[in-house]
Structures are given as C-alpha cells and as structure tokens.
Amino acid sequence: MARVINGTLFVPVYNSTGNPGEWNFTGASYDNQADATGNGAADLTVGFLMFIQATDNFLATPVPGVMHRYQLTSITVIDSITIDGTILWDEFGPEVDQPTNGSYAIICEPSYIKTYGTPPAVAIYPNLPPGADIGAYVVDNRNVKDRNVVTRTNIEGATILENQIVFENGFGNVQLAQANDVLSEGTTFGVVASGTILNTAIGYVYIENQNIDGFSGLVAGPVYLSRTVAGGISQSLAGFVPGEHVIKLGTAVSATRILWQPEYDYEF
C-alpha cells in the first residue's frame, strides 16, 4: 500500500467566493515531511481534504482545538511547495465559523471507501494549532463514522433528491435505482443522506445498515425498490414482470422510518 499523502498547508488569506461554504486562496505553502514521491505539491489533487482551524464569526478570533473539514475542489500547482485552490465546506448542515487566515491547516488524502481524513500528528508539524490532529478526528467521528455515509458523485444526468434510492455504477458514482435497471447480487444500494445532489456534484449517501428517517406513508413491513419510479420505493410486488429485480431495501419500522438493510432477493 502506498504511503499516505498528508502534511500542512499554510494559507495567508481565505477569500469567500460568495457561494455558501466556498472559499479560495492563493500562494499557499505545502509541507510534507514524509513525501514518498518527491513530487511535493504535485501530489495534491481535487478531492483532498483540509482541516482548518475555526474562527468564530462573531468574535473574529480563532477557536482553540476546533477544526472544520473542507474538500479541495480546484487546485493550481504553482511550484513544488505552492498552490492556489478552492475549498468547499464538507460537513453536514450549513457552514459554521469560518477558516482562520494566516494559519496552518492539515491537508490529506481521504481514505478509499469511507473518505475519512488521514491527518498527520501535531508532534511532526508543530506549526499546526494545538490539538489540530485530535480536532480532525473528532470532525470525522461526527460527520462520517456516526452517520455511516460515503461521498459519491451523481452521474444520473439530473439532480438526485434527499431519500431517493441510488445504486453504485462505477467506483464513486451513483445514479437513481429502479427494479428494471441492470442490477446483480453485487450491486451496492444507497439512500441520499442530506439535501440534493446536483448532476456531476458530490453528495452524501447512506450505505450501511441503520435507521433512516424522512419517508412518509409507510406501513410496518418490508420495503422494496420501485419498478415504476426511479429512486422510489414500494411495499408491494404487484406488477413485477420477468427480468425485473426484487431488491429488499429494508423494513419499515414507522410511517417515516426504514431500517435500511438492502439485499438483492431475486430476479422476477
């Protein structure tokens, strides 16, 4: 397995783009004490994560030990240690606080499946704010682990809505699922977790077993993938025809909640 790419990025100033949670910066300085390739900043790519010390919106002062997670959405490599870039808020809900200007941030590649951050230790990078490494782990425990979500790219060709059912079609990509799609026992199904995912954008998707709220009109019993509505659900197998796939998505435990346990049952 390749060595993890992580280090620090000193950003002089974060400039709001005017879009919620989006900032850009220029002339940021990268440091990786464990550079395995010798490529320096050229190893950084879109999708890398940044954990940045929070500045309180009202007090305009850095908040001790609090780091927020952002994703690098564009990058221009100036030289081996210097980049310009754009970042986007990568936590649930609207952005709180703002990035701290003139500070050292953690920059790292995400883990392959869960997209956890892979932060280095503050002991290796003493310019980081005290507790930055622990702060990064706290953010991921709350925003990734506890919610059992993954980030995926929408390739549907249209916006996908919260609580619609999707399936993975290529690594890291999802589109709306329907019982007459090309599916198999190895297909991974998910539920859009928060808000909408615009076409070609990255969003959050529930994959693992858990209780998911936000549905309506359910009755206690099994829930299946719809045969007539892309991304929809059904509690009946009426109307299924040969060649369509019976996908049990889980069990309705209330009128609004599904115990999400997707499994491929059989081809009709």
* Residue 62 and residue 42 in contact, taking contact as beta carbons nearer than 8 Å: no
Q: Are strands 233-234 and 6-11 parallel, antiparallel or unpaired?
A: unpaired
Q: Which of 3-12, 31-40, 53-62, 238-247 is the least confident region?
A: 238-247
Give the Cα separation of 48 and 46 in Å (integer): 6
The reply to whether 43 and 116 lie within a common domain is yes
The reply to whether 158 and 247 lie within a common domain is yes
> Has residue 32 been placed in a domain?
yes
The reply to whether 161 and 218 lie within a common domain is yes
> Has residue 37 been placed in a domain?
yes
Residue ranges of E strands in 143-193: 149-154, 165-168, 173-176, 189-192
The reply to whether 159 and 221 lie within a common domain is yes
Which tokens sit at 170? 């290529």
The reply to whether 190 and 172 lie within a common domain is yes
Phi, psi dihedrals of residue 142, rounded to the nearest 5°? -80, -40
**Mean pLDDT for the stretch of residues 229-255:** 87
pLDDT-derived band of residue 147, with 50, 70 and 90 as boundaries?
Answer: low
Write down the mean pLDDT value for the chain. Answer: 89
Residue that finishes a domain, picked among 115, 145, 175: 145
Give the Cα separation of 180 and 245 in Å (integer): 6
**Mean pLDDT for the stretch of residues 27-52:** 94
> pLDDT at residue 1 above 60?
no
The reply to whether 95 and 178 lie within a common domain is no
pLDDT-derived band of residue 102, with 50, 70 and 90 as boundaries?
Answer: very high
Q: What is the pLDDT of residue 79?
A: 96
Which tokens sit at 42? 């050229």
Q: What is the pLDDT of residue 145?
A: 59
Provide the residue range defining the domain that includes 208.
Answer: 151-267
What is the share, in percent, of the chain residues with pLDDT greater than 90?
A: 49
Q: What is the pLDDT of residue 97?
A: 95
**Structural domains of the chain, count:** 2
DSSP string covering 52-93:
EEEE-TTT-SEEEEEEEEEEEEEEEE-SSSEEEEEEEE-SSS
The reply to whether 139 and 202 lie within a common domain is no
> pLDDT at residue 114 above 70?
no
> Has residue 1 been placed in a domain?
no
pLDDT-derived band of residue 78, with 50, 70 and 90 as boundaries?
Answer: very high
> pLDDT at residue 214 above 90?
no
Give the Cα separation of 103 and 99 in Å (integer): 9
Q: How many angstroms separate the Cα of 93 from the Cα of each of 43, 109, 110, 195?
A: 30, 22, 20, 9
More confident residue, 242 or 211: 242
49 pairs with which residues across the strands? 71, 108
Q: What is the pLDDT of residue 146?
A: 56
